């Protein structure tokens, strides 16, 4: 699996390529509309030398400048973020993982940062994968439950890509997470029906839980 550093480098490289392609499109649209650099620069409140530097890719405009520039030449810029990999784990996540390992005991073999597929273009990974004779269980660490629907959907997509059928969402046991979990329970329960005590009981006995579940640690 690519390292976190290489994944960041690859993402930056792709972003630069996409940004350069966008600048080329904006310049082409300006020329097609018969607009001079000076005319476009005045319309967006920038100098002609600044616009020239952007078009020659010697400098990079901000998102608002891009949006104004695009509007002047008859285009529209849309910026969105898509799932592309697993986020860099912070100290809080590592602590949760360590607590989990200590409370379920030695009955499981552990692997960390396990790729969800063999496809090198898919940089997603499970935080951990535990296994023994009873089977394998994917572990996803959530230190702060914010958008439960989106976080759960991302986790389930990983599970599907890996062709596994068992996952435990492990949450930091905080007041915020308990409240967020209670609020999200109706939507969460169909995909993760087992409660914390049931998950913990099975894992401590070295048994794979009978269904997906949520565990507060």
Which own/partner pairs from 93-101 qualify as long-range (CB within 8 Å, at least 24 positions apart)? 93/127, 93/141, 93/143, 96/141, 96/143, 96/170, 96/171, 96/172, 96/217, 97/127, 97/128, 97/139, 97/141, 97/170, 99/217, 100/139, 100/170, 100/215, 100/217
> Please, which residues bridge with residue 135 across strands?
132
**What's residue 16's pLDDT?**
85
**What's residue 87's pLDDT?**
54
pLDDT by position in tens, the chain (length 217): 444 445 556 667 778 888 899 999 999 999 999 999 999 999 999 999 999 999 999 999 998 999 999 999 999 888 776 655 555 556 778 889 899 999 998 999 999 889 998 887 787 889 999 999 999 999 999 999 998 888 999 999 999 999 999 999 999 999 999 999 999 999 899 999 999 999 999 999 999 999 999 999 9
**Residues 38-65 as b or e (16 or more Cβ within 10 Å = b):** eebbeebebeeebbeebbeeeeebeeeb
Domains and their CATH numbers in the chain? 4-72 (1.10.260.40), 91-216 (3.40.1350)
Q: What's the Cα-to-Cα distance from 144 to each of 14, 68, 100, 173, 181, rounded to whole Å?
A: 29, 36, 16, 9, 10
**What's residue 111's pLDDT?**
92
Q: How far apart are CA 88 and CA 21, in angstroms?
A: 28
Q: How far apart are CA 158 and CA 114, in angstroms?
A: 11
Give the orientation angle of helix 37-44 with respect to helix 63-72, to 10 degrees: 120
Q: How far apart are CA 85 and CA 8, in angstroms?
A: 10
Residue linked to tokens 């290489």: 6
**What's residue 49's pLDDT?**
96
């Amino acid at each position: 699996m690519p390292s976190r550093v290489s994944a960041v480098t690859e993402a930056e490289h792709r972003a630069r390529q996409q940004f350069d392609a966008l600048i080329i499109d904006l310049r082409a649209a300006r020329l097609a509309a018969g607009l001079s650099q000076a005319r476009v620069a005045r319309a967006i409140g920038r100098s002609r030398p600044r616009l020239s530097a952007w078009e020659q890719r010697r400098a990079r405009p901000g998102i608002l400048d891009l949006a104004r520039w695009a509007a002047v030449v008859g285009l529209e810029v849309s910026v969105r973020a898509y799932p592309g990999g697993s986020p860099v784990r912070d100290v809080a996540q590592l602590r949760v993982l360590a607590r989990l390992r200590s409370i379920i005991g030695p009955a499981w073999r552990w692997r960390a940062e396990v790729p969800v597929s063999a496809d090198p273009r898919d940089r997603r990974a499970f935080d951990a994968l535990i296994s023994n004779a009873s089977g394998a269980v994917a572990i996803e660490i959530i230190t702060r439950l914010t958008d439960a629907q989106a976080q759960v959907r991302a986790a389930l997509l990983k599970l599907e890509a890996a062709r596994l059928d068992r996952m435990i969402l492990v949450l930091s046991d905080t007041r915020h997470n308990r409240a967020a979990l209670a609020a999200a329970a109706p939507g969460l329960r169909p995909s993760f029906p087992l409660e914390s005590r049931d998950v913990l009981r099975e894992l401590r006995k070295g048994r794979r839980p009978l269904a997906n579940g949520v565990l507060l640690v």
